[in-house]
Every structure is written in C-alpha cells, then in structure tokens.
Amino acid sequence: MSIVKSVATVTGISIITRAISFLFKIYLTRTLGAEVIGLYSICLSVFFLFIAMTTGGLSTVLSRKIAESRAKGDELKPAAYLATAMSIAVPAAVIALVVGYLLTPEKSFLLSDERALPMLKIMLPALITTTFYIIIRGWFWGTKQFGIFSATELLEEILRVLFTLLLVSGVISGISGSAGLALAFTLSDVAVALAVFIIFLRRGGSFRRGIHPKELLKPALPLTAMRVLGSAVGAILALILPNALIAAGSTIADATAAVGRISGMANPLLMAPNAIIGSLAVVLVPEMSADNVRGDSKKLQSRIDGAISFALVVSGLFMAIYSALGKELTSWLYNDYESGVYLEKAAWLMALTPINMIVATCMNSVGMEKESFFSFIPGTLLMLASCWLLPKYIGIDAVIVANLLSLSVEVVINLFLLHKKIKLRFGFIKTLISVTCISLFVKVLTDFVSGAFDFSSGFLTLVVSGIAGAASYAALAYVFGISDIKTMLSNVKKRRRATPSENQKSNAGSPM
C-alpha cells in the first residue's frame, strides 16, 4: 500500500475515532460537569504516568526494529522482538499496579484533589491490559498493518463509550457518576485487550525466542525516560497548577474546573488536526526506519520536508478558525465560554505543534532517541517553572506561555540535531511563514464576518463565519502556492531510482 493510501486509511479511521471521542467528551461535560471531568483528567495524568513507565518508548522501538528487520528480508525476528518486548512490559505493569496501590492507601501525594482517589483505584488494574495491547499494536505498526493499527484504537473508543453510557447513566444500581466513569475505563480496557489479541492471532501473529532484552531496552530507555517525564509533567501540572491558581485567589472548585476546561474542553479541539498529522506520523515511522537502514538520505530529506509542510497547512486552518471563533465554538459545544477564551489564545501554538510532532517522529525513526530526550529536558523545565510561577500574574494563561516556551526550545534543538545527521532542506520554513500570515488575515476576516452577521442564533453565526473563514483560508493557500497537498505527499512518498553502487551498499549489510 502506498504512503498516500496508508495515510488516507489511517486518517479516515482516526477522524471517526476522534469524532466519537469528541462527541463523547461533550456528553460527559454536559452530564457530569467540568469538575468531574477535572477529577477524571487528574486520574488520567497519573495513570498514563505509570503507562509511560511500563511501555515508554518500547512500542516505538519495537515497530522500528520490526520494520528494519523486514527491510533486510528477515521475517523471523519480528516475532522474537515482540516476545521480548512483552516479557519486559507486562512484568513492569504488574509492578506498577502494586506500587500504584501502595502509593494510594487513603490519600496520595500524586493527586491535587483527594476526591479523585476512588476513581484512580478503580482505574489502576487497567495498567496490565493497556500495556499488553500497546505492545501488540506496536507489532501491527511495524508490520505496516496501518488499517488494523488504527481500527483497534477505534474499537477502544467505541467500547469505552458503550461501557460508560451503561455505567454513568445509573442503569446498574449503585454505580453512576465518577465511579461509573472510572469503572467503564477499566472494563472497556480489558475488552479491548482481548479483542486486539484475537485479531493479532488471526493475522498470523506469533511469539518467538531469540532476542536479548538489551537490544530493545538500550534504544527504548531514552524514549521511555522522555515519556515518563512527559507523563510526570502531566501529573505534576495536575498537582501544581490548581495549587498555583488557588494561591492566586481561586477556590479549589474553580481551580479544578479550570484544569477540566483545558484538558477536557480546549485540548481535544487543539488536538483535532492530529487526526490527520498523527496518521502521517504513524505511517512515516516504519517507512523512514527502512530508508535509514538502506542509507537513502535524499529520500529521508524529501519525506521530512513534505511531511512538515503538509502538517503546517492542515494545522493552519484550525489555527485560523479557533483564534477567531473559540468562544462561540465552546459555548455551543460545551455551553462554556471560558474554555473558548483559552482556546482562542492557545490556537497560535498550532504553528509549532506540527513541526515538533513530525521532527520528533523522524528522530525516533532514525535512531536518535537519546538526542530527542536531551532536547526534551530544557523545554520541560521551562514548562514546569512557568506553570508554577506565572499563574499569580496571568492566571490560566500561564499554561499557554509554558507550552510556547517548551515547544520553541524543543523545535529549535531538534531541528539542529536532525540537520547535523540528515542535512535538512528547510523548505518548510516558507510554508510556516505563509501559513502564519494567512491565518492572521483569516482571523481578522472571520472576526469581521462574525460581527457583521450576528444572527439571533449563535450556531448560525458560527456556521456562516466558519465557512467564510475556511473558504478564505483555502483561497489564500492556493494564491500563496501552498495548497497542493498532493505534491507535498508525493514528496513524502517519492522514491528515487537507486544507482547500482547504492544498491550494492544497501545489500552489503543484508543477510544472504
């Protein structure tokens, strides 16, 4: 399957998955309120901290190793890599489960709001099943079964929705609200793990001995450390941000609700472009790993430049619309105005997010996990310091400043390091400038349309203004010459005919 078809398949499934997730978050917000969603978000941050410890970068390294083995013609090693990854991750999950319960007896320093503790205790058993199916999905990823890789995520979302609807609604006596939400998370996770394993077996998956754990652990450790720190940052932010807001004058309820507005309302919208950009990143990892093994640097350069440009154009549309219509959008979706105020300001972070996402994917694909980790440290420290020190001056906007500083530092360092290895073309800089200028103009135009056609129905105003903004973005993208998505993706998939000497080099390290 070509990269374009693979991206289209993953994107289609991802859009459906995210649409279900998004609509479901709206239902939960309206049914349970921002405060319960805030408690749930706090639990998730701790849960995924433990998951980062059990799987970390293991699934990414697993997929890369499998792709490299297949590129060399070795069809036996993938099963051995999978067995080794599972022998590392599952025992780690069991240990994490025990540690989790030991750290949460009656109260926990991991939680900023002790009301979240009962929810966390219900969710912790899912550590084992989540770890199991993350590793299995890594096998699908490495063997380029992108449709199944994405479909399992869709299945997870559907089952979570069904279990939550059953338990939150109070159909089962004695279970509802926050307890039902947490129990649905765990039960759906068990069901997903079982389903993914059955699919794995039906697709010819197997386990095989023969790989020393060190072969996976060595490249996985920097990624694991980075993801543990990333998850720890989420957990720490869920702890220090409410406290910083309280110190600035907010009540406990208001501070928890503010966290819920960011994590449960604004962030899902900000991550909407990832349905497309993330699909490209998923497809790129095994492809670029194979390119790296073959030593085809020109193809790598072409893929990186095309992927970043494509991601920027996609992200720019959302950036323009959110910055103009954030308040109207969240008022209609969540019946919440404040999350829209945050969304309009945070939208401009989307100029850096796609660059960071694609560059990090590229670094992990070519074995630069250690370099990626060291670039992550200064950005993380800046983020934590900003969220701790700035709320008393700028309130919840401290999160935006924190993300801006973190993203800027990581993007600059990662681009520098990747350029040293691959010699980047930096053609995407032109796309970045064009997208930013277009988005600024479209924001102003959309604001004007929204004010000029202020219908009695807020939804009608939102639709008319949104269509005007999207149409003007598309038109200006065409005028600026950045609308040719097909050309960008053709750069991602472009294959250069190798010379005989290059073929000789490529085959030199391959098994007979």
More reliable by pLDDT, 114 or 411: 411
Mean pLDDT for 6-30 is 83
More reliable by pLDDT, 286 or 342: 342
pLDDT for the residue numbered 500: 36
pLDDT for the residue numbered 189: 92
pLDDT for the residue numbered 433: 93
Residue 44 amino acid letter: L
Q: How far is CA 287 from the centre of its chain?
A: 20
For the cut 60, the answer to whether the pLDDT of residue 492 exceeds it is: no
The model's confidence at residue 128, banded by pLDDT at 50, 70 and 90, is very high
Number of Cβ within 10 Å of residue 247's Cβ equals 13
pLDDT for the residue numbered 496: 41
φ, ψ for residue 54, nearest 5 deg: -85, -40
The per-residue pLDDT of the chain, averaged, comes to: 82
For the cut 70, the answer to whether the pLDDT of residue 56 exceeds it is: yes
For the cut 90, the answer to whether the pLDDT of residue 301 exceeds it is: no
More reliable by pLDDT, 379 or 230: 379
Give the C-alpha distances (Å, rounded to integers) separating 450 from 315, 321, 325. 22, 11, 8
For the cut 50, the answer to whether the pLDDT of residue 17 exceeds it is: yes
pLDDT for the residue numbered 499: 38
Q: How far is CA 190 from the centre of its chain?
A: 22
pLDDT for the residue numbered 352: 93
Give the C-alpha distances (Å, rounded to integers) separating 293 from 19, 131, 289, 366, 508. 37, 28, 6, 8, 11
Which of these, 39, 45, 37, 43, lies nearest to 236 by C-alpha position? 45
Q: Which of 125-129, 141-145, 367-371 has the lowest mean pLDDT?
A: 367-371
pLDDT for the residue numbered 313: 92
For the cut 70, the answer to whether the pLDDT of residue 94 exceeds it is: yes
Q: Are 228 and 52 in contact (CB under 8 A)?
A: yes
Q: Which of 138-147, 183-192, 465-474 has the lowest mean pLDDT?
A: 138-147
- Residue-level length of the chain: 512
Q: Which of 99-103, 136-140, 440-444, 487-491 has the lowest mean pLDDT?
A: 487-491
For the cut 70, the answer to whether the pLDDT of residue 254 exceeds it is: yes
More reliable by pLDDT, 29 or 491: 29
More reliable by pLDDT, 95 or 171: 95
Listed by start position, the domains of the chain span 1-224, 271-496
Q: Are 386 and 401 in contact (CB under 8 A)?
A: yes
The model's confidence at residue 127, banded by pLDDT at 50, 70 and 90, is very high
Which of these, 50, 70, 51, 72, lies nearest to 62 by C-alpha position? 70
For the cut 60, the answer to whether the pLDDT of residue 133 exceeds it is: yes
For the cut 60, the answer to whether the pLDDT of residue 504 exceeds it is: no
More reliable by pLDDT, 281 or 360: 360
Angle in degrees, 0-180, between the axes of helices 58-71 and 213-247, rounded to the nearest 10: 150
For the cut 50, the answer to whether the pLDDT of residue 14 exceeds it is: yes
Mean pLDDT for 281-295 is 75
Mean pLDDT for 277-293 is 76
Mean pLDDT for 416-431 is 86
The model's confidence at residue 512, banded by pLDDT at 50, 70 and 90, is very low
Helix (H), strand (E), coil (C) string for 99-142: HHHHCCCCCCCCCCCHHHHHHHHHHCCHHHHHHHHHHHHHHHHH
For the cut 90, the answer to whether the pLDDT of residue 71 exceeds it is: no
For the cut 90, the answer to whether the pLDDT of residue 322 exceeds it is: yes
pTM beyond 0.75, yes or no = no
pLDDT for the residue numbered 508: 35
The model's confidence at residue 498, banded by pLDDT at 50, 70 and 90, is very low
CA distance 45 to 34: 16
The model's confidence at residue 3, banded by pLDDT at 50, 70 and 90, is low
Angle in degrees, 0-180, between the axes of helices 3-54 and 126-142, rounded to the nearest 10: 150
The model's confidence at residue 48, banded by pLDDT at 50, 70 and 90, is confident
Mean pLDDT for 265-292 is 80
Per DSSP, the residues of 54-80 read HTTTHHHHHHHHHHHHHHTT-SSHHHH
For the cut 80, the answer to whether the pLDDT of residue 493 exceeds it is: no
The model's confidence at residue 285, banded by pLDDT at 50, 70 and 90, is confident
pLDDT for the residue numbered 438: 95
Q: Which of 40-44, 81-85, 124-128, 363-367 has the highest mean pLDDT?
A: 124-128
Instruction: Mention every residue, 6+ apart, whose C-beta is less than 8 A from residue 236.
Output: 384
- pLDDT tens per residue across span 428-455: 899 999 999 999 999 999 989 888 776 6
